[in-house]
Structure 1
Amino acid sequence: MTEFSSSITALDAGRKPQISREDLLMAALRLLGPHRSVSSLGLREVAREAAIAPNSFYRHFHDVDELAVALIDHSGAALRTVVDEARVHVKSGHTVVRGSIEAFMSQLRAEDGLLRVLLREGTTGSDAFKRAVDRQLEFFEEELRVELVRLTEASDAPLHDPALAAKAITRLIFAMGAHALDAPREQDVALIRQMTQMVTMILLGSRQMKTRPV
């Protein structure tokens, strides 16, 4: 066996015989790190990170852009867990708004980096990536709308246009989260306080409009 053939055999031995879409998404996520954009990923480096031959990539995705959109969709799950995590924070004694903001910041700083993908690509990604992020935000807005209606009706303090209030809150937190990406963690406490006040203002304004329509 030649030296070249031996190196190829060794390389093949290190590759996985089968791999799932999830494996490729996780490989891409590991490559991104805290600051890198999905648009900078290369097919070969993703395949190398996943320990597969480049041609095996095409069994799951047509190209890297399709993988990137799938990664954004996958990252949307991190955003939607915020509502569930907020309930846990509230049970610990915090208000609903502060609990929600703390849950968001917890996801933002999570090691998996999923929420960071949404925030980064929603502001700097391609048009296709931004549309994918918008879809995830719309899913979250609907979940937040349902939760807002439940909470405000239970406290007999209904909102004017809960859907619009949910959208305002989501877009505000999304923008503030994008800013927090590049801010040191030492500023998280101040950012949480600011975001809590901003969201409270939106809710108070929506309640006021319910009783005194503009």
Structure 2
Amino acid sequence: MKTVGRKASINSQEIIAAALNLVGPHRSISSLSLREVTREAGIAPNSFYRHFKDVDELNIAIIELAGQHLRAIIRDARSLIINERSVVRVSVECFFNEMRKPGSTLPILLREGTVGSGNFQDAIKKQLDFFAHELQTDLERANSIAPRYKTEETLVVAKAVTQLVFAMGGNALNTPESDLDKTVEETVLMVKFILKGASSSKG
């Protein structure tokens, strides 16, 4: 006979969903405890341990989920790009639009990189590196059509843009909705400055 209020069985995605319910828009996932996650999920600790060895492993799974959402943003941006002039704006707008959606996991990537265990931070870095390498691929594709950068510089440029966009996104997490358009415009301009500077350094 199961304990009143507890589920007889649960899957890992339901545990992740329970953890995300606790995090909300401002709280760090590194502050989650096993007790409150299991209470929110309506399970006993033993049920939790069938899916995750500890809360750190749960947090890494959440970060990987946020990374999946980030990859979806990249795909959406690519599908909306009509011409080269729209690349920066469409990409930045897709990023910020996703960031402010209710229930978005992107804010986790924006605020979690300096907290938690070494494994936790490594998981964040892995997702940022993925973003940078995807951007590098796009830059090299554009470069093959209209050469602007030295080939060995594309990853450096991609990392600079990634750090900028994530920093601006992190700053925007606590700003009023009315200021978001201004932040998007500033980010677009800054990215263009980085790309222009990298282009002018060629040769």
**Pairs within 5 Å for 1:1-214:** 12-91=3-82, 95-154=86-145, 156-160=146-150, 161-210=153-202, 212=203
Q: TM-score, normalised by structure 1?
A: 0.86
Q: Is the 8 A contact 1:37 1:125 kept in 2?
A: no
What is the SS of the residue equivalent to 1:75? Answer: helix
SS at match of 2:43: coil
Is the CA contact 1:33–1:113 (under 8 Å) kept in the aligned structure 2?
no
Please list the CA deviations of residues 81-137 of structure 1 after superposition, one character each: whole Å capped at 9, or x if unmatched.
222121244349971100000010011112223111111111444443222111111
The answer on whether the counterparts of 2:140 and 2:154 sit within 8 Å (CA) in structure 1 is: yes
1:141-188 per-residue CA deviation (whole Å, 9 max, x = no partner) reads 11111112112323x133231111111100111111110011111111
Q: Distance in 1 between matches of 2:52 and 2:72?
A: 26
Which structure's CA Rg is the greater one? Answer: 1
Question: 1:70 & 1:119 partners in 2: Cα distance?
Answer: 16
Q: Aligned pair in 2 of structure 1 residues 173, 24: CA closer, same or farther (>3 Å)?
A: same
- C-alpha distance in 2, partners of 1:91/1:144? 17
- 8 Å CA contact 1:89, 1:102 repeated in 2: no
Q: TM-score normalized by structure 2?
A: 0.90
Report the 3-state secondary structure (helix = DSSP H, G, I; strand = E; otherwise coil) of the residue aligned with 1:119: helix
Q: Which moved further from structure 2: 158-167 or 189-198? A: 158-167
CA RMSD of aligned residues (A): 2.0
Deviations 1:26-61 (A, max 9, x none): 111111001111122111221122221222101011
Which residues of structure 1 form unaligned runs of 5+?
Answer: 1-8
Q: Distance in 2 between matches of 1:30 and 1:203?
A: 39
For structure 2, list consecutive stretches of 5 or more residues without a partner in the other structure.
none
Aligned counterpart, 1:6: none
How many Å separate the matches in 2 of 1:105 and 1:182?
13
CA pair 148-139 structure 1, distance change in 2 beyond 3 A: same
One-letter amino acid of the structure 2 residue matched with residue 159 of structure 1: Y
**Aligned pairs, how many?**
201
CA 194–107 in structure 1, closer or farther in 2 if over 3 Å, else same: same
Contact 2:30–2:115, Cα closer than 8 Å, also in 1: no
Identical aligned pairs, as a percentage? Answer: 44
